[in-house]
A and B are shown apart, each in its own frame.
Chain A
């Protein structure tokens, strides 16, 4: 309750949360929310590159499709992609970090060196190379992003696990003969949970951005998917005449990522008293 009260006092974080609620709502009910469902995929040359109007709220694209409807549908895609990427990265990174941090075995050390190697190249560059390697398409882009994002989770969990492991109460529990699995599940995992949740929230926003870059570079989604990054790439040819074509998908990215970042910052301030002073 006290946490909730503190959170509600942090206005930017509340705004972030509100944005996320709206975006998730749009994502879930996207197919029913599109103002012109018939103009999502079907091209209509007669109506191409129309500026924003009452009929087409955000205007139409080069094939006469309703940009507003496509942005709404794109929300669903972006959320699904980033959620899967973050979930997969967590599924790989969290156990590895726990294992390496808790056992301090040679294999654990080796895994953390592997993490170092992955972190020695910017994530996007490595993701580009891997996506290229396993083939084009949305699935492989997602896989590439997850394969390059797990080290961040592994490192967060690793350092947190190390910290908890050397905390007095864990040593006391070991002395009392508590089983390893029990200590790990009941005592270590809850402590690790909050930094992981913070990292996952910020990771959602970050992944939406990198997915958009991949889409923009033609590695992720492919036409006629209503992908934000892809739409911006397509819009370039119709500048400066059809500014709305580029504008609205980009604004959608901005608002969504802003929501996750604001909310993630607020969460971090809540769970990490060391950083709380920074705001």
Chain B
């Protein structure tokens, strides 16, 4: 297993290196004058010249890349024009919020999507199946930012049962820092008021974000279960006298979960992308709203750093998915 993880890690490295080259090109090569770009729209020529010297833009490109490479390796992603703090520190501060949000969405999508998809397949062509199909296709067609606004309008403004924005109510202090995930930290520190408040704040953003993922997982589980039920080992299991329910909920589901798990890796990319608008609307202090802020303030360094960090997380999640797959399906570990 360890060998599998190491080999899989090795496979992920070239793409990550490529991503660094890509962000470097976008940062230094593409803009006609990167110093001007870095300095922002209202910079004076003196400021631009100072930046050019400070960042070594007069050096040959390959030397610049080496410097950039070294900086990234030391987690030095530059200084944000907007917050005036190191971008790496900004991102580190905001990353737990995004992780909490995306994982809550992912867990919800999986926990609901897999049973929904399985039942739809078991009751193939029933009314339930048709409803699941309609809901899942619609779930992929909804613009999440619009859905977020509609939810806010309904549940916060009209009925006032869920908070409009943020991670915690003003006046409630964040729990002591262990993981940065408020739900876990407040539980660990036995702070139940904070815990409940954090959950209240998490419900709408996580639900908004999970909609597309839920639809995808339900669709793939449904297709996977239908496909697996045609397999010889299922007809064998019936002929060998296993009870029908056990065949579906243990034997078929396990194989279909393998198929759905492959999707979860790809899904995570969609979740992070979706988090940009969703965090912005719910004022969720994660890297998504940071990216939007960076866009509004033309903060190149910040937005490219976000790109790089997201690529890194994405690669890591896909690695984790492959490890889970290898655990679920013994053949996977042997093919790599």
State the A residues within 8 Å of B (CB).
12, 113-114, 116-118, 120-126, 128-130, 132-134, 205, 209, 212-213, 216-219, 229, 232, 235-236, 239-240, 243, 246-247, 249-250, 253-255, 257-258, 261-262, 265, 275, 277-279
Contacting pair A262 B314 (CB below 8 A): no
Instruction: Say whether, besides A114-B18, A258-B138, A121 and B227 are in contact (CB < 8 Å).
Output: no
Chain A proximity mask over B1-25: 1 for CB below 8 Å, otherwise 0: 0000000000000111011011100
Q: Which of B19, B274, B295 contacts A117 (CB 8 A)?
A: B19
B300–A133 CB distance below 8 A:
yes
| CB-based contact A128/B277 at 8 Å | no
- Cross-chain contact of B230 among A216, A246, A257, A277 (Cβ < 8 A): A277
A-B interface pairs (CB < 8 A), number: 153
Can you list 20 pairs linking A and B with CB atoms under 8 Å apart?
A116-B15, A117-B18, A120-B315, A121-B269, A121-B311, A125-B307, A129-B26, A129-B303, A129-B307, A133-B31, A209-B143, A216-B277, A229-B145, A232-B143, A243-B153, A253-B142, A257-B141, A257-B143, A262-B137, A277-B223
Residue B58 is within 8 A (CB to CB) of chain A in the complex: no
Q: Which residues on the B side are within 8 Å of A262 (C-beta)?
A: 137
Find out whether the CB atom of A121 lies under 8 angstroms from the CB atom of B14.
no
Q: Is the CB of A219 within 8 A of B150?
A: no
User: B194-234 interface mask toward A, CB cutoff 8 Å, 1 = contact, 0 = none?
Assistant: 00000000000000000000000000001100110010000
Also in contact, A125 and B276, with CB within 8 A (given A12-B133, A120-B315, A133-B30): yes
**A239 near B226 (CB under 8 angstroms)?**
no
Give the secondary structure class of B's interface: helix
Chain B residues with Cβ below 8 Å from A126 are 307
**A78 CA / B319 CA spacing, docked (Å):** 36
- Interface status of B323 (Cβ within 8 A of chain A): no
At the interface, yes or no: B272 with Cβ under 8 Å from chain A? yes
| Residues of the A chain whose Cβ atoms lie less than 8 Å from the Cβ of B22 | 117-118
B168 lies within 8 A of chain A by Cβ: no
**Is B150 within 8 A of A265, CB to CB?**
no
Given contacts A128-B295, A253-B146, A278-B227, contact A258 B19 (CB under 8 A): no
If the complex has contacts A246-B150, A265-B137, are A275 and B273 also in contact, measured as CB distance less than 8 A? no
| Residue contact B137 to A258, C-beta cutoff 8 Å | yes
**Is B39 an interface residue when CB atoms closer than 8 A count as contact?**
no
Interface string of B129-163 (1 = CB under 8 A from A): 00001100110111101110110110001100000
B298: min CB distance to chain A, Å: 7
Contact present for B292 and A120 (CB under 8 Å): no
Q: Does B143 contact A213, Cβ atoms closer than 8 Å? A: yes
List residues of chain A with CB within 8 A of the CB of B21. Answer: 117
Report the Cα distance A259→B14, complex, angstroms: 39
Residue of A122, A132, A277, A279 near B272 (CB, 8 A) is A122
Contact, CB under 8 Å: B300 / A250: no
Which B residues lie within 8 Å of A255 (CB)?
141
Q: How far is the CB of A15 from chain B (nearest CB, A)?
A: 10
**Is B142 a contact of A254 with CB atoms below 8 Å?**
yes
- Digitize B160-202: 1 where CB-to-A-CB distance is under 8 Å, 0 elsewhere: 0000000000000000000000000000000000000000000
Q: Taking the complex as formed, is B333 at the interface, i.e. its CB lies under 8 A from any CB of chain A? A: no
Whether B143 lies near A133 (C-beta < 8 A) is: no
- CA A239 – CA B150 in complex, angstroms? 10
Structural contact, B227 and A212, CB atoms closer than 8 A? no
State the CA gap A120–B314 with chains docked (Å).
7
Tell me whether A205 and B141 are in contact (CB under 8 A).
Answer: yes
Q: A277, B226: Cβ atoms under 8 Å?
A: yes
Report whether A235 and B149 are in contact in the complex, using a CB–CB cutoff of 8 Å: yes
**Cα distance A155–B76 when bound, in Å?**
34
User: Within B257-278, which residues are at the interface with A (CB < 8 Å)?
Assistant: 269-270, 272-274, 276-277
The docked-state distance in angstroms from the alpha carbon of A199 to that of B166 is 38
A128 and B227 within 8 A (CB): no
| Complex CA–CA separation, A219 to B295 (angstroms) | 8
* Interface pair B146/A128, CB less than 8 Å apart: no
Question: For the complex, is B280 an interface residue (Cβ under 8 Å from A)?
Answer: yes
Judged by a CB distance under 8 angstroms, whether B291 is at the interface is yes
Which among B31, B138, B145 has the greatest number of chain A C-beta atoms within 10 A? B145
How far is the CB of B211 from the nearest CB of chain A, in Å?
12
With A and B bound together, what is the CA distance between A196 and B276 in angstroms? 29
| B296 contacts partner chain A, Cβ-Cβ < 8 Å | yes
**20 extra A-B contacts, CB within 8 A, seeds A217-B280, A240-B157:** A113-B15, A120-B315, A121-B269, A122-B269, A124-B274, A125-B306, A128-B295, A132-B294, A132-B298, A132-B303, A133-B31, A134-B30, A232-B149, A239-B152, A239-B157, A249-B146, A250-B147, A254-B138, A257-B143, A258-B137
**A122 vs B277: C-alpha distance in the bound complex, in angstroms?**
14
Is B310 part of the binding interface, using a Cβ–Cβ cutoff of 8 Å? yes
Kindly identify which residue among B140, B147, B158 contacts A261, using a CB–CB cutoff of 8 Å.
Answer: B140
| Nearest CB in chain A to that of B288: its residue | A125
Contact A250 B276 (CB under 8 A): no
9 nearest A-B residue pairs (beta carbon)? A250-B146, A278-B223, A117-B18, A240-B157, A124-B273, A257-B141, A122-B273, A122-B269, A258-B141
Closest A residue to B308 by beta carbon equals A121
Is B310 a contact of A125 with CB atoms below 8 Å? yes
Report the separation of the CA atoms of residues A275 and B298 in the bound assembly, to the nearest whole angstrom.
Answer: 44
Tell me, rounded to whole Å, the shortest Cβ–Cβ distance linking A5 to chain B: 19
Pair A120/B153 contact, Cβ less than 8 Å: no
Q: Which residue of B lies closest to A278 (CB)?
A: B223
Q: Which of B283-336 contact A (CB under 8 A)?
A: 291-292, 294-296, 298, 300, 303-304, 306-307, 310-311, 314-315
